[in-house]
Amino acid sequence: MNPQRLFQDFLAHTQPRPIPWDVYSELLEMATEKHAADPQLYIVEAENVLVVGDTHGDVFSSLSAARKEWDAIVFLGDYVDRGPYQLENLAFLLSLELSHPDRVFLVRGNHESPLMNKRYGFLEVVASRYGLRAYREFQKLFANMSYAALINNAYLAVHGGIARSLKSVEDITSLPKNDPEPVHQTAFEILWNDPDENIDYFEPNPWRGEGVYLYGRKAVEDFLSRNNLKSLIRAHQPYPGGFKEHFGGKTVTVFSCRFYPIERPAALMISGDKGYKPLPLE
């Protein structure tokens, strides 16, 4: 199986085509081997870095992002569940990553887990097309995905946000791999926590459930100051136009799935000393 050929095949067709299991199985094996060896914290250094939020089976947004001008691209998780092209979206992203392993980075989201996949549809999608046993191969991949990317030593990119116990960016490097659910509390909060303008530090999140927290302005400002960072970049929540600034830009949400009522999906371009700006995804 040639990832570059599969990537080009996606680019060449206006509609995604089903992928035979023997091809997908080999793609998963290659991607899992890569992710198992990857660090938990990606170090991304490039002039123009495109950051993509939740895609949830929206292969069209993923294709749109890939076609833009970028030197590196970071995807912030939630590649499956909910949308109509979950298998195709993940396959395209894996083929893109394996074709450009030094420039494409797939970070884990809270939907890269068995519990979410059972509740929101991906397990059923896999079982209906490839059989229930095939899901084990996807689970192995998700369990080994990394939790964060440090972009140009100025922006920390994660799926959900900062965790109560997270003091240093370096703390992310010691989080365990091969953690399917995950059960590690710091990792869990990185995937699940949300910003809230009405609090200062951390409070339980009444909408997400047990173990999930809201984080406020002072918590973010303290973390950024301690780590000499400009902003926290995250996904996890839909907003109109696929973009929202929190705490005066100290935290930025980007959302990239068109199958939500958000007007249009967006990505975020980080360009050297020019800062960041949202880019619509056609």
User: Could you tell me if 76 and 101 are in contact, meaning their C-beta atoms sit under 8 angstroms apart?
Assistant: no
Three-state DSSP at 27 gives helix
Strand-strand pairing, 266-271 and 276-280: antiparallel
Residue 266 token pair = 């967006």
Residue 202 token pair = 């951390």
CA atoms of 31 and 189, how far apart (whole Å):
25
Task: Identify the residue whose tokens are 């079982």.
Answer: 127
Q: How many CB atoms lie within 10 A of CB 125?
A: 19
Catalytic site residue 246? no
Using the CB atoms, write b or e for 231-257: b if 16+ within 10 Å. Answer: bbbbbbbbbeebbbebbeebbbbbbbb
Residue 5 token pair = 């050929």
Distances (CA, A) of 1 to 86, 195, 241: 20, 42, 37
Q: Hey, CA dihedral for 244, 245, 251, 252, is it positive or negative? A: positive
User: Could you tell me if 149 and 107 are in contact, meaning their C-beta atoms sit under 8 angstroms apart?
Assistant: yes
Given the residues 35, 56, 111, 236, the one annotated as active site: 111
Active site residues: 111
